[in-house]
Structure 1
Amino acid sequence: MSEDTETVSVHGREFQRTSLDEGVYYAPVAFDDREESRLTAQHEIVSRIFGDGLFSPRIPVGEPEAILECGYGGGDWAVQCADEFEDCEGMRVRRLSSRPMSRQMDRPENLDLVAHNLNDPLRDPEIFKANHYDLIHSRFVFPGIKSGRWNGYIRDMRLLLRPGGWVQIMEYLPIIQSHNGRLTDQNAVRRWWQEYQGAMADMDRDPRIGRRLKRLLLDNRYRDVEVDIVQLHIGDWSKNETQASIGRDSVEMIGDLLESLGLWPFTSKLGWTAARFEDLMQEVRAELQNVELNLYIEL
């Protein structure tokens, strides 16, 4: 088994050994069956937010020749993108993280996979081509990128874009919020967040990075920068039928997300027992199912 696919079991979940050993990424990998299911559900929900698409309606994708994805999780976005643009000459999608692709994912012929630590510069000439990519896609990579790396990461992506190319970045702000203000610091979702943000700060990660992306893009001379803050509803409490449908389907996925993000930081960084973390997650999942709280998470 290669270093890229070697896993280790932590409290019944599969993590990538090199990611933990080198401090790269602290959540289960797609080889973990539960994480594979969560990543697929997450991809489907995000696609629905984009109107069953892969890109923001703001991006004129056209007929791209080369696409780069940074950190692709289970590979759902990359595979769907490669299938959709299979006739584009020279089209490539590269994986740039320490997470292996899902064990059951079929790889299209026009999809190249390259393991790369996103904390390292994106400048290896054997992997990257400057001024080459029509679109660079980066989604939910904050648990893996060090706080001080973000400016360089944004700068590196700009140097890889062809003139007129686009970057699409999406990150969670993993603070569960309430439309009706019924949450307090005593709620389980708030207690999860307070513990999590402290652990991530100690591990040099910034879970609030989504709030800083616009400034980072502007500082690195991107043009036509637009930021959309999407409130992903948790539960079917919305009067809007589309939002209610997505919210209903997001309940389990968000619970799985908080568990995946929190398991290693809580038990290995904060010293919680697995049983204590599981007790908190049971409370969290119960609150996520409470439609009277009108919960949402920002993307």
Structure 2
Amino acid sequence: MMFLVLDHDQLNPLFRAPIGDSPKNILDIGTGQGSWAIDVADRYPSATVRGVDIFPPPVSWMPPNCLFEVDDVLREWTWREPFDFIHMRLMYGAFPPDGWHELYKQAYDALEPGGWIEQMELDVRVYSDDGTLKKEHQLYGWGDMFIRCSERAGRSLRTHETMRSAIEEAGFVDVHEEKYKIPIGPWARDNALKEAGHLQYGHWNAALEGWAMWLLTHFGEPVPWSKEEVHVFLAKVRTELSSPHIHAYEPANRVWARKPTKEELEEKEPNIKAETSP
């Protein structure tokens, strides 16, 4: 919902990839609540839209062309029909670093030549441009601490920084990137940003304990925290989030790229052979 608000002025606020008007097969990785898959299925009634995650989404209704599946996308993919578009968002921390390379490779192989991949990820660090977020605030060092703790857990929260190069390394071309600043709280003057900030504030308040409790009690620094310490810390964070005097935001990156067409692949193959011949 937050991204729909930010992109309300776009002809298609759901994604940027130019997939045309008649895609046949679309895959949504990490579908979560299933809202994106349902919206896309409504927009393209002739397409089959699959949402996949490790848990089923809490939906009671979906369009007839929308399917939800429980699966681990790091395992070998078994879908037979190639996809025209593969979408994912907010997957930071989901996989170990090697897992991302395997995921992009499988996505590349599963796409039709000329098909598109798109990913949108948040930076977990919090910033302000006007100096209202200060070093003494808990939010100031929030993201850097979580990045370090996640690295000790074998996960990376820097997906927004690494996804473009990893997508390029997988063989995708025509790579595009768009950057956002998402307010946390309704402090912005622009109406769309104000609404997005209100939604993001609610998202943070609802998700704080889920983000922090397991990670800090297992991999907190300098030693794992107690549950009581986490609760005290989060109470301070919530106070800062609700302060109208802190104009905090978190960056987000969107990357979309294309698998080469058959013609591009055929042109590339002789060049590869020439480069590798003795």
TM-score normalised by the shorter chain: which range applies?
0.7 to 0.9
Code of the aligned partner of 1:116? D
Moved over 6 A (4+): none
Q: 1:108 aligns with which of 38, 56, 63?
A: 63
Q: 1:178 aligns with which of 124, 128, 137?
A: 128
Q: Confirm or deny: 8 A CA contact 1:259 1:281 kept in the other structure.
A: yes
Q: Confirm or deny: 8 A CA contact 2:14 2:40 kept in the other structure.
A: no
Matched, 1:129 2:80: yes
- Once the two structures are TM-superposed, the CA of residue 72 in structure 1 deviates from its matched residue by 0.8
Q: Confirm or deny: 8 A CA contact 1:195 1:266 kept in the other structure.
A: no
Matched, 1:45 2:2: yes
1:267 counterpart residue number: 217
Matched, 1:190 2:146: no
Which is bigger in relative contact order (C-alpha 8 A, separation at least 6)?
Answer: 2
Code of the aligned partner of 1:293? I
- Once the two structures are TM-superposed, the CA of residue 188 in structure 1 deviates from its matched residue by 1.1
**Which sits farther off after the overlay, 132-141 or 240-249?**
240-249
Q: Confirm or deny: 8 A CA contact 1:50 1:56 kept in the other structure.
A: no
Cα 1:214–1:224 change in 2 (3 A) is same
SS in 2 for 1:63: coil
Cα 1:57–1:196 change in 2 (3 A) is closer
SS in 2 for 1:256: helix
| Aligned mates of 2:125, 2:236 — CA distance in 1 | 16
Cα 1:249–1:113 change in 2 (3 A) is closer
Code of the aligned partner of 1:221? G
- Once the two structures are TM-superposed, the CA of residue 189 in structure 1 deviates from its matched residue by 1.4
Q: 1:72 aligns with which of 26, 31, 34?
A: 31
TM-score (norm: length of structure 2): 0.80
Cα 1:215–1:49 change in 2 (3 A) is same
2:189 counterpart residue number: 239
Q: 1:248-287 alignment to 2 at 5 Å?
A: 248-270=198-220, 271-287=224-240
Structure 2 unaligned runs (5+)? 253-278
Cα 1:61–1:168 change in 2 (3 A) is farther
| Aligned mates of 2:79, 2:246 — CA distance in 1 | 46
| Aligned mates of 2:150, 2:87 — CA distance in 1 | 24
Q: Which has the higher strand share?
A: 2
Matched, 1:148 2:98: yes
Q: Confirm or deny: 8 A CA contact 1:255 1:284 kept in the other structure.
A: no
| Aligned mates of 2:205, 2:177 — CA distance in 1 | 26
CA RMSD of aligned residues (A): 2.2
**Which sits farther off after the overlay, 104-113 or 58-67?**
104-113
SS in 2 for 1:62: coil
SS in 2 for 1:230: strand
Matched, 1:296 2:249: yes
| Aligned mates of 1:114, 1:274 — CA distance in 2 | 34
Q: 1:87 aligns with which of 46, 49, 54?
A: 46
| Aligned mates of 2:132, 2:160 — CA distance in 1 | 24
Aligned pairs, number: 247
**Which sits farther off after the overlay, 236-245 or 225-234?**
236-245
TM-score (norm: length of structure 1): 0.75
Q: Confirm or deny: 8 A CA contact 1:55 1:168 kept in the other structure.
A: no
| Aligned mates of 2:7, 2:152 — CA distance in 1 | 34
Q: Confirm or deny: 8 A CA contact 1:139 1:170 kept in the other structure.
A: yes
Q: 1:55 aligns with which of 10, 14, 32?
A: 14
Structure 1 unaligned runs (5+)? 1-43
Which structure has the larger Rg over C-alpha atoms? 2
Q: 1:164 aligns with which of 110, 114, 118?
A: 114
Identity between Structure 1 and Structure 2 (%): 19
Q: Confirm or deny: 8 A CA contact 2:184 2:197 kept in the other structure.
A: yes
Code of the aligned partner of 2:72? N
Cα 1:105–1:49 change in 2 (3 A) is farther
